[in-house]
Amino acid sequence: MDTQKPHHRNLTVDGITINVVSLPEAVSSIVSAAEHGDNFCVCTLNLDHVVQLQQRPDFRAAYRRARFVTADGFPIVVLSRLMGTRIRRTTGADLVEPVCREAQKKRLPIFMMGSNDRTLSITAERLSKRFRGLQVAGYYAPAANFDPYSSEADFAIDSIRASGAKLCFLALGAPRQELFAARCLDRLNGTGLLCIGAALDFIAGTQTRAPSITQKAGLEWAWRMLRDPRRLGPRYARCVAVVPRLVARTIPQIVNARMRKAA
C-alpha cells in the first residue's frame, strides 16, 4: 500500500507546494536525484520565508524552481495536520548528517559554502571523521555581503563545478542561498543544492542549536529569540503577523481535504 498518497494531496503555502513529507523521504529523494546526476535544489519552508515570498519576486521565483520543498516551520506542520496529513518538520539542520551518511555510502562528493573558513574547515573535519570515506570535494566562504548575482557568485559556481561535487550545502541564509541555488541550476552539471541555513555552524559548534525538547515542542523560535531578541524579535513579529492571513488562505485546502477524506 502506498502510504504517501494521502500526503501528496499536498499542502500549498502561499503558492509554494510542500512535496516532501518527512526526513527519510527527503534524504532518499535527494540521494536518488544526486545518483542520477540531476541538477536540483532543496528548500525548507518556514514563516520567515513566507514573509519574504510576499516581499521579493526574485525569492518567489527561486523557490518555485526547487525540486524538493520540506516544511521547516512548526506552524506549517500544524496546517498540514488540520488537512489530515502528517507532514513532519524537516529543517536544513536535520538534513546534513543523514545526507552525508548516504553520500558516503554512495560515494557522492560534497561541497560546502557559507559562514567562514574556520567553520567550514571544522565542519569538513568533523563530517569526514563521522562518516569515514565521505569525499569533501571543497568548500568556499564568501564575503559577508555576498551577492548571488555578483562576480564572486560566478567564481563560487565555477569552484563548485570544478570540484566535481554531486551535492552542495549552502549555508548563506535566506534569501541569498535560495537565489544562488536558482542561479546554479542553469550553470552546473549534475549537482544538488541544499539550502540549509545555519546547519554548518551547528556542526562546527560556532552556533548552538536549540535543545531537542524545544524543537519537538515547536518552540525553537522562542529559544532563539530569547538568546538574540534585538535581531530576531522584529523577524518573529513579522512571522506572527502573517499567520492569520496564511490560515485564512489555507482554509479552502483544509475543508477540501477533509471532505474528500470523509467521502
pLDDT for residue 239 is more than 90: no
pLDDT for residue 2 is more than 60: no
What string of H, E and C letters represents the secondary structure of the chain? CCCCCCHHHCEEECCEEECCCCHHHHHHHHHHHHHCCCCEEEEEECHHHHHHHHHCHHHHHHHHCCCEEEECCHHHHHHHHHCCCCCCCCCHHHHHHHHHHHHHHHCCCEEEEECCHHHHHHHHHHHHHHCCCCCEEEEECCCCCCCCCCHHHHHHHHHHHHHCCCEEEEECCCCHHHHHHHHHHCCCCCCEEEECCCHHHHHHCCCCCCCHHHHHCCCHHHHHHHHCHHHHHHHHHHHHHHHHHHHHHHHHHHHHHHHHHHC
pLDDT for residue 203 is more than 60: yes
pLDDT for residue 121 is more than 50: yes
Q: Please give the pLDDT value at position 9.
A: 67
Q: d(Cα 81, Cα 64) in Å, to the nearest integer?
A: 23
Q: Please give the pLDDT value at position 73.
A: 86
| 153-156: long-range contacts, CB 8 A cutoff, minimum separation 24 | 153/180, 153/183, 156/113, 156/180
pLDDT tens figures, 10-61: 789 989 999 999 999 999 999 999 999 999 999 999 999 999 999 999 999 9
pLDDT tens figures, 49-102: 999 999 999 999 999 999 999 999 888 998 888 888 889 999 999 999 999 999
pTM for the whole thing?
0.91
Mean of all residue pLDDT scores within the chain: 91
| 97-101: long-range contacts, CB 8 A cutoff, minimum separation 24 | 97/127, 97/130, 97/203, 98/23, 98/27, 99/27, 99/30, 99/31, 99/167, 99/194, 100/127, 100/130, 100/131, 100/134, 101/131
Q: d(Cα 202, Cα 78) in Å, to the nearest integer?
A: 26
Q: Please give the pLDDT value at position 262.
A: 73
